[in-house]
Amino acid sequence: GALSHAMPASRRARQHDLVVFGASGTTGVQIVKELLSERNKGHLTFAVAGRSEERTRAALQAAIPDRDAVAKIEVLVASTEDVSSLRNMAAACRVLLNAVGPYRHHGRPVVQACLDEHTDYVDICGEPLFLEDIELMHDGKARDEEVLIIGACGFDSVPADVGVAYLADAYTERGGLMHSVNTFLTVGGGNYHVNTATFNAAVEGFGDVKTLAKVRKSLVSSRESVWGGTTKPMKPPGRKPKTRKRWWFDADMKKYCALFPGSDASIVRRSTALRSVRLGVPQFFVGCYMTLSSRVWLATFAVMGSIFAFLAKYEFGRRILKSAPGLFTLGLFRPGGPSEEEMRHNSFEMYYRGTGWSKAPSGDDRQSKSPDLIVDMKMYCTRQSPS
């Protein structure tokens, strides 16, 4: 199968293709549902893992109608506080999918166990500090051991990352070059809410700004040695686009826009840096935004965002935010994940607007010649069918 491609024989012979760690959580349950769906039957052998076999199986039985299918799933017991259990879990599969967050607290020992057991690792993390710190600590060893460590493979930040890469390729395939790209996220479907774990991770992320800056500084020299000797990512050509205000009205989309407070910009910029090294093309400027449906929501977002930004700077403020996530987000973040009804009616749209050159400039022209081509693209996704 696909997982056998370019994989050492020792890994091809393992008990399971995939283990889902954290299968009793909101996202973990959805992953297991997908693995049990008709389109995946027969393609993968998988097991699940959690701190308690009883609680993990109970969570799956409560959410998945097919009791017989759930009963056949092997449940491994593993805890981030027990290194041997993590290594046993990693040794049982070719790929480990880690759905246990916050990753800043629970992710590092799982990655280490995968490296020790030569098991490929995937997560759905949206925490820039964890993702970039793991790259700093383990990229060299992972390459030497031929182990894949792939982060941010969920809503953070597959739609933004894949869509931007596709748009950049659309320029180069036609002999052009992308100078900058903006992404705009629109969430639809009426009322919905998000698990407080995501909110807490965002709160703690604001407290790690200085640490993240140090990690990024160290990554500059680390990437030079790991990505290819003295090779450096090429700087974006031309002038940097005019910095957007925190919020504004976009006349083309006829929507109010604000900076997207997620990890998309961080993830996409990492990808464009690596793309520059591998393909020998310049990087491009990246901006990630979200849309709001009215002035009322724009004003609400501005006020609540300002309160969040102020409190998140301080330890006492972060404690206050985490003590009442519903209050500070008007009910958007609540304990437990969204209901099946909410997910069924929820959707999102990602709009991409690229600016660049129809014919790739070279040398001094990259700095003096103005971009002459705008390329737009839209991705629309519902629970039933992405497009």
pLDDT number for residue 247: 83
Cβ-Cβ contacts under 8 Å for 242 (sequence gap 6 or more):
none
pLDDT number for residue 1: 42
Q: Find where tokens 């930004």 sit.
A: 309
DSSP state of 77: E
pLDDT number for residue 261: 87
Stretches in the chain below the pLDDT threshold 70: 1-12, 38-40, 189-190, 227-231, 383-387
- Which amino acid appears at position 340 of this protein? E
DSSP state of 33: H
pLDDT number for residue 228: 61
Cis? peptide before 339, omega within 30° of 0: no
pLDDT number for residue 70: 92
pLDDT number for residue 338: 79
Q: Which two tokens stand for residue 119?
A: 């098991």
Using DSSP, state whether 104 is helix, strand or coil. helix
In terms of Cβ atoms closer than 10 Å to its own Cβ (0-12, 13-18, 19+), residue 230 is exposed
**Long-range contacts of 322-331, Cβ-Cβ distance < 8 Å, separation of 24 or more:** 322/199, 322/200, 322/203, 325/196, 325/199, 325/200, 328/304, 329/199, 329/304, 330/300, 330/304, 331/193
Where are any strands of DSSP class E within 282-324? Answer: 285-292
pLDDT number for residue 7: 60
- Is the pTM higher than 0.85? The answer reads yes
Cβ-Cβ contacts under 8 Å for 336 (sequence gap 6 or more):
26, 195
